[in-house]
């Protein structure tokens, strides 16, 4: 095989990978924002057409999403967006509690110079959340809150934690979206985030983990009962 064909193969492989990543991101966004709601079913061709993408990368993205528990592939029914019950959502939150607690512990154990940079970035997002609440912009609050938690796990540097968190944070987003206007104004979230950051700045890994876990337990104990109270059994 010539060098030219090797380079072409690498390019083709990279291009396919990029297309699959784009399809994966597009389908996941459509699930998160309700374009493809729970229980939605359609063929891979229909999904490809609605997204304006070719079928091959969409197929590969769907296989990945099936492995993550977001969709099912069923004979004669095609792709089905998996619904989540309140019990499912409690399990999702239980996973996030563990993952984010460990991520916070890892960051708080880093050298001071590395911790400070991460704390500064998290503090910026927390300040943006506070401004959004002052403006009664719950959508902006939710956006910044999601970024805060994604960054917390990402900056731990543990790729396995990040992969686990990504799947579960995507699923918890559904519950947060439908309960956003049913729950009390989430002013406590900013206070709890600040407690995480303060422990992180001190390098207090144990209390940082505890603060991160308690924060997500508080969210779980607000959201899951709301889902049950309003009989939201098909998220």
What pLDDT is stored for residue 11 in this prediction? 37
Sequence-ordered strand ranges (E) for 22-159: 41-42, 71-74, 78-81
What pLDDT is stored for residue 100 in this prediction? 97
Decide if 234 is inside a domain: no
Residues 39 and 108 in one domain: no
What pLDDT is stored for residue 7 in this prediction? 43
Residues 125 and 222 in one domain: yes
Give the three-class secondary structure for 71: strand
Decide if 235 is inside a domain: no
Tens digit of each residue's pLDDT (9 = 90 or more) over 38-54? 889 999 999 999 989 98
Question: Nearest 10 degrees: CA dihedral of 179, 180, 181, 184?
Answer: 100
Residues 94 and 74 in one domain: no
Last residue of a domain, one of 29, 61, 81: 81
Residues 117 and 215 in one domain: yes
Domain containing 18 equals 3-81
Residues 114 and 21 in one domain: no
| Backbone phi, psi, residue 80, to 5° | -125, 125
What pLDDT is stored for residue 29 in this prediction? 86
What pLDDT is stored for residue 187 in this prediction? 95
Decide if 125 is inside a domain: yes
CATH number of domain containing 221: 1.20.120.530
Residues 155 and 114 in one domain: yes
Residues 72 and 103 in one domain: no
Decide if 127 is inside a domain: yes
Decide if 151 is inside a domain: yes
What pLDDT is stored for residue 178 in this prediction? 81
Contact 52, 58 (CB under 8 A): no
What pLDDT is stored for residue 174 in this prediction? 79
> Kind of pairing, strands 78-81 and 71-74?
antiparallel
Residues 58 and 122 in one domain: no
Residues 30 and 102 in one domain: no
pTM confidence score: 0.79
Decide if 212 is inside a domain: yes
Residues 225 and 120 in one domain: yes
User: With left for phi above 0 and alpha for psi between -120 and 50, is residue 174 left, alpha or beta?
Assistant: alpha
How many domains does one find in the chain? Answer: 2
Last residue of a domain, one of 81, 104, 135: 81
Residues 175 and 74 in one domain: no
Last residue of a domain, one of 81, 96, 126: 81
Tens digit of each residue's pLDDT (9 = 90 or more) over 13-27? 344 568 899 999 899
Q: Which residues of the chain have pLDDT under 50?
A: 1-15
Decide if 145 is inside a domain: yes
Residues 55 and 116 in one domain: no
Decide if 100 is inside a domain: yes
């Amino acid at each position: 095989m010539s060098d030219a064909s090797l380079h072409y193969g690498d390019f083709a492989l990279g291009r396919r990978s990029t297309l699959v990543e784009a399809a994966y991101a597009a389908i996941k966004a459509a699930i998160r924002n309700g374009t493809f709601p729970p229980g939605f079913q359609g063929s891979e061709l229909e999904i490809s057409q609605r997204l304006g993408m070719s079928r091959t990368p969409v197929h590969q993205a769907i296989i990945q999403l099936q492995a993550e528990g977001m969709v099912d592939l069923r004979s004669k029914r095609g792709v089905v967006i998996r619904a989540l019950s309140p019990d499912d959502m409690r399990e999702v939150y239980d996973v996030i509690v563990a993952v984010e607690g460990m991520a916070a512990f890892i960051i708080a154990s880093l050298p001071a110079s590395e911790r400070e940079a991460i704390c500064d970035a998290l503090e910026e997002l927390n300040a943006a959340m506070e401004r959004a609440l002052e403006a009664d912009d719950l959508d902006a609050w939710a956006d910044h809150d999601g970024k805060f938690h994604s960054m917390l796990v990402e900056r731990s540097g543990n790729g396995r934690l990040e992969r686990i968190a990504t799947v579960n944070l995507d699923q918890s987003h559904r519950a947060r979206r439908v309960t956003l206007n049913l729950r009390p104004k989430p002013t406590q979230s900013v206070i709890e985030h600040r407690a995480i950051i303060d422990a992180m700045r001190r390098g207090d890994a144990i209390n940082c983990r505890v603060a991160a876990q308690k924060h997500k337990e508080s969210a779980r104990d607000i959201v899951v009962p709301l889902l049950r109270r309003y009989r939201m059994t098909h998220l």
